[in-house]
């Protein structure tokens, strides 16, 4: 074992966490490493060979004036108590430890952040970089969201840069990883979980979303995405006129079709978005689709589903503003939040079967809620954006249940 490098590494780690590094330490404050089991467990007094190897290493470092030694009282030359770092020999200490100075690493990260930030167009990524730059400049430490390992840190920044550069385009996760991170599995193996956390906080997105759903919101897909719907939608696509009216049992569009089509015709009285697939299939089986458009959302809508809904909304509000919009989801925290997301896009949307009467009718199929859930639910009563659900929320608290939409017969 290279005890010299190990001792220097431990001392430099202590220095980088000390007030000396941040420039506000007392002059006489030491950066010391104690030779006890906690700080240096490799110093084994019962193993003469390793003990002497440690002594040889520290004496060599002392002769170079890199450290100072302190022996146990009455045990000089026999049992080490601690070593302290000579702060005037930091450059030599880093060289012998084979370690890049923390300050150099921080400056590299800061420089990279500033360089990327010059061309960033995505508001939430720009906000993230701005916060990181301010933190680094003010504290001489990495922000909590950036990995401590230098390689992972730069890989993570490359992921954010890639999201910004691809813009609104959607890419499969492994294709994105290969293009921007240099390997098809780099995203999944090294930065995925951290990236998901940052997107949730700075995008921002609901904490209840799974990682795959979060990445979908920035256009990174695990698999290619199709949107399911049923209704008399007429479109123009690459100079062709197409109608989905004959597809009475439902149809689908892939990402490229959604990007390129334009709505030509949609004579409906009602548009409804549906959270759950089983409920969507049940709905289109039992409802006449001639005068309505039903769309399967699969939870919080992704960018491509948002694009589809935007095209529908833009056409309807100009050509048939009397058309009603509804959203049907679970009567629970997630269902309410998904409704609000749809409402941001389509302000006149109304909830469908997400009311007190539905809750009471299907009470026996409700799932019991715990105290933590009750607290989160009750907190919504203080938020005006949830006003439309106040009656349902109060009834949920009274009954102590939430209700998934699959329990509802439609």
Residue 70 and residue 107 in one domain: no
Rounded Cα–Cα distance for residues 264 and 393 (Å): 40
- Say how many C-beta atoms besides its own lie within 10 A of residue 170's C-beta: 22
Q: How many domains does the chain have?
A: 3
Q: Work out the pLDDT band at 26, boundaries 50, 70, 90.
A: low
Residue 247 and residue 288 in one domain: yes
Residue 276 and residue 371 in one domain: yes
- Lowest mean pLDDT across 118-127, 203-212, 383-392: 203-212
Residue 309 and residue 398 in one domain: yes
Q: What is the mean pLDDT of the chain?
A: 91
Residue 353 and residue 295 in one domain: yes
Each residue's pLDDT tens digit, 189-202:
999 999 999 999 99
| Domain that includes residue 130, residue range | 102-221
Does the pTM surpass 0.75? The reply is no
**Which of the listed residues 161, 192, 221 is the one where a domain comes to its end?**
221
Residue 143 and residue 257 in one domain: no
Residue 62 and residue 124 in one domain: no
Rounded Cα–Cα distance for residues 34 and 154 (Å): 34
What separation in angstroms does the CA of 237 have from each of 77, 233, 296?
86, 12, 22
Q: Work out the pLDDT band at 25, boundaries 50, 70, 90.
A: low
Residue 370 has pLDDT above 70, yes or no: yes
The proportion of the chain whose per-residue pLDDT surpasses 70, expressed as a percent, equals 98
Residue 377 and residue 290 in one domain: yes
Residue 241 and residue 316 in one domain: yes
Residue 343 and residue 252 in one domain: yes
**Which of the listed residues 175, 202, 221 is the one where a domain comes to its end?**
221
Rounded Cα–Cα distance for residues 58 and 139 (Å): 33
The proportion of the chain whose per-residue pLDDT surpasses 90, expressed as a percent, equals 74
Residue 208 has pLDDT above 80, yes or no: no
Each residue's pLDDT tens digit, 69-112:
999 999 999 999 999 999 989 999 989 989 888 889 899 999 99
Residue 122 has pLDDT above 70, yes or no: yes
Residue 237 and residue 367 in one domain: yes
Residue 216 and residue 296 in one domain: no
Residue 301 has pLDDT above 80, yes or no: yes
Residue 212 has pLDDT above 90, yes or no: no
**Which of the listed residues 200, 221, 242 is the one where a domain comes to its end?**
221
């Amino acid at each position: 074992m290279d005890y010299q490098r190990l001792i220097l590494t431990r001392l430099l780690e202590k220095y980088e966490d000390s007030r000396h590094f941040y420039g506000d330490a007392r002059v006489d404050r030491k950066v010391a490493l104690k030779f006890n089991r906690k700080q240096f467990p490799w110093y084994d007094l019962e193993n003469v060979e390793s003990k002497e190897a440690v002594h040889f290493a520290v004496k060599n470092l002392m002769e170079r004036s890199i450290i100072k030694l302190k022996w146990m009282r009455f045990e000089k030359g026999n049992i080490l108590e601690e070593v302290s770092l000579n702060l005037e020999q930091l450059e030599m200490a880093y060289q012998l430890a084979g370690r890049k100075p923390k300050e150099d690493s921080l400056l590299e990260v800061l420089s990279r952040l500033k360089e990327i930030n010059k061309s960033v167009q995505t508001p939430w990524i720009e906000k993230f970089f701005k916060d990181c730059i301010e933190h680094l400049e003010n504290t001489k430490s990495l922000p909590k969201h950036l990995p401590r390992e230098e390689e992972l840190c730069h890989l993570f920044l490359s992921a954010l840069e890639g999201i910004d550069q691809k813009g609104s385009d959607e890419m499969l996760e492994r294709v994105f990883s290969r293009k921007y991170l240099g390997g098809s599995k780099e995203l999944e193996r090294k930065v995925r979980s951290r990236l998901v956390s940052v997107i949730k906080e700075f995008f921002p997105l609901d904490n209840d979303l799974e990682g795959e759903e979060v990445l979908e919101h920035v256009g990174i897909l695990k698999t290619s995405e199709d949107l399911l719907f049923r209704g008399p939608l007429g479109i123009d696509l690459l100079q062709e006129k197409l109608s989905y009216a004959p597809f009475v049992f439902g149809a689908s569009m892939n990402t490229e079709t959604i990007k390129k089509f334009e709505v030509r015709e949609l004579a409906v009285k009602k548009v409804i978005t549906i959270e759950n697939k089983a409920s969507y299939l049940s709905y289109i089986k039992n409802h006449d689709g001639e005068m309505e458009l039903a769309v399967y959302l699969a939870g919080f809508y992704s960018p491509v589903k948002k694009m589809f809904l935007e095209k529908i909304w833009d056409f309807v509000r100009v050509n048939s503003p009397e058309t009603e919009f509804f959203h049907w989801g679970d009567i629970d925290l997630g269902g309410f939040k998904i409704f609000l997301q749809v409402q941001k896009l389509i302000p006149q949307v109304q909830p469908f079967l997400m009311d007190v009467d539905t809750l009471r009718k299907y009470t026996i199929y409700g799932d019991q809620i715990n105290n933590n859930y009750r607290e989160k639910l009750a907190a919504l009563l203080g938020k005006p954006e949830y006003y439309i659900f106040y009656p349902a929320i109060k009834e949920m608290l009274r009954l102590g249940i939430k209700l998934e939409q699959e329990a509802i017969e439609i």
